[in-house]
């Protein structure tokens, strides 16, 4: 099939839930992608950040292929070594207590909600099950996540009734946070420390400090959704390290598998034994091939790797700010939101694509989530194209 035939096949047979760019992947390496017509692109969105090691990382490929040759799936009825290794590494790296594995960010947050609800209903002194979320949040696409996602308004009318018991808080508004806690007596507060879909917005330190304090004082669980911001993306392994606290539950997915579907929640002393056998699960969760990929991601993400991510992020941010049309940047590390002085961000993303840079939008701005392994040469190549598109 040529590019046009592939796109026509999608249009005809695939339910249309994605506004796709007219790019048909043929093969990819590092931060570069070639389409079916041989055109080259620099990947600056890494499949929403999931391709954390870029494409065709040799160690990652070896590990995944070797595991596939041994066995590809077991279900949660049996043990496998690679799952144990990845669980131990994740727990030790994060300083959390135990991990539950699923296949995506949506399943990760669904697990977090079930742990929080059971904790509130059966363990907290005062029976409680409300969950507070941030007004411009994004937590996934299930009915409960839609109920706790503020960045796509109007969903209730289309998909309602949504799961009850979720209440919004104005972001970075301490007074509103206190008010909602007093009003709803929640069992949990969920937030992204750096909102992704909501606009690449980093939470204020004082706001997070206050949320942490309220959680401690009132036996409320702090659920930190690091599905997008975690696993090295913001320059530390998890973003909560930069905010100086430990959440009760951390959800993760995107970057951990290096492009294979794996996600889950890390739990602490308070939350690690809330769920019992039979109450939750996932047929494909902790898939051995995905774990083999995650194991390589975890091994590579040492202090030197993260320092390199921070340095490249600083460099990329510095160079972007030198572009006349760039007004300001948001986010943290390699999670970058870009505002323009006069240009329309959606139009810029289209033009970048035409000129060979794959970038994405978020609410109100352009968003960059390059592979964490992107080289300085690849960054420079992308910057040249940014100048070409924006300096005219």
Ligand X SMILES: *Cc1c(COP(=O)(O)O)cnc(C)c1O
Q: Which residues bind ligand X (CB under 6 A)?
A: 48, 104-106, 109, 138-140, 192, 196, 225, 227-228, 253, 263
Question: Hey, what are 313's tokens?
Answer: 């992020």
Nearest distance, CB of residue 231 and ligand X, angstroms: 12
Residue 162 or 227 having the CB closest to ligand X: 227
Residue 105 or 337 having the CB closest to ligand X: 105
Nearest distance, CB of residue 237 and ligand X, angstroms: 16
334 three-state secondary structure:
coil
- Chain centroid to CA 135: 18
Q: How many CA atoms lie within 13 A of 185 on its CB side?
A: 8
Which residue in the block uniquely carries the two structure tokens 């209440």? 167
3-state secondary structure 114-182: HHHHHHHHHHCCCCCCEEEEECCCCCCCCHHHHHCCCCCCCHHHHHCCCCCCEEEECCCCHHHHHHHHH
Distance spanning both ends of the chain, measured CA to CA: 36
Residue 94 or 228 having the CB closest to ligand X: 228
Nearest distance, CB of residue 376 and ligand X, angstroms: 27
Residue 129 or 136 having the CB closest to ligand X: 136
Nearest distance, CB of residue 257 and ligand X, angstroms: 10
Residue 186 or 230 having the CB closest to ligand X: 230
Nearest distance, CB of residue 52 and ligand X, angstroms: 14
Nearest distance, CB of residue 113 and ligand X, angstroms: 12
How far is the CA of 202 from the CAs of 171, 194, 243, 295, in angstroms? 10, 4, 11, 28
Residue 105 or 293 having the CB closest to ligand X: 105
Q: Using omega within 30 degrees of 0 as the cis cutoff, is the peptide bond preceding 161 cis?
A: yes
Question: Hey, what are 81's tokens?
Answer: 């070594």
d(CA 239, CA 348): 29
Nearest distance, CB of residue 319 and ligand X, angstroms: 26
Q: Label residue 273 left, alpha or beta by phi (over 0 means left) and psi (-120 to 50 means alpha).
A: alpha
Residue 83 or 264 having the CB closest to ligand X: 264
Tell me the residue number closest to ligand X, measured at CB: 105
């Amino acid at each position: 099939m040529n590019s046009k035939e592939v796109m026509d096949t999608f249009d005809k047979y695939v339910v249309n839930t994605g506004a796709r760019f007219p790019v048909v992947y043929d093969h990819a390496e590092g931060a570069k992608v070639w389409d079916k017509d041989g055109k080259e692109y620099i990947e600056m969105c890494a499949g929403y950040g999931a391709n954390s090691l870029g494409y065709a990382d040799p160690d990652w490929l070896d590990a995944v292929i070797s595991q596939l040759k041994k066995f590809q799936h077991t279900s949660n009825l049996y043990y496998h070594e690679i799952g144990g290794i990845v669980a131990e590494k994740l727990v030790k790296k994060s300083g959390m207590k135990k991990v539950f594995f699923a296949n995506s960010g949506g399943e990760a947050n669904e697990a977090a909600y079930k742990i929080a609800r059971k904790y509130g209903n059966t363990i907290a002194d005062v029976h409680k099950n409300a969950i507070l979320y941030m007004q411009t949040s994004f937590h996934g696409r299930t009915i409960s996540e839609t109920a706790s996602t503020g960045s796509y308004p109007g969903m209730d009318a289309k998909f309602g009734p949504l799961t009850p018991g979720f209440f919004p808080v104005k972001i970075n508004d301490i007074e509103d946070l206190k008010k909602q806690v007093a009003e709803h007596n929640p069992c949990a507060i969920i937030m992204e420390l750096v909102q992704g879909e909501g606009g690449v917005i980093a939470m204020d330190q004082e706001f997070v400090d206050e949320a942490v304090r309220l959680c401690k004082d009132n036996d409320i669980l702090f659920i930190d959704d690091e599905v997008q911001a975690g696993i090295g993306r913001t320059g530390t392994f998890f973003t909560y390290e930069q905010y100086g606290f430990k959440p009760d539950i951390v959800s993760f997915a995107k970057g951990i598998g290096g492009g294979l579907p794996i996600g889950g929640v890390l739990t602490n002393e308070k939350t690690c034994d809330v769920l019992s056998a039979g109450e939750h699960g996932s047929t494909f969760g902790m898939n051995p091939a995905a774990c083999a990929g995650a194991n390589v991601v975890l091994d590579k993400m040492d202090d030197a790797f993260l320092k390199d991510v921070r340095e490249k992020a600083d460099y990329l941010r510095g160079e972007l700010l030198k572009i006349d049309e760039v007004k300001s940047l948001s986010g943290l590390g390699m999670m970058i939101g870009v505002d323009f002085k006069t240009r329309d961000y959606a139009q810029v993303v289209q033009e970048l694509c035409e000129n060979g840079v794959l970038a994405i939008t978020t609410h109100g701005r352009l968003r960059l989530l390059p592979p964490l392994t992107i080289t300085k040469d690849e960054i420079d190549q992308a910057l040249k194209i940014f100048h070409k598109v924006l300096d005219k």
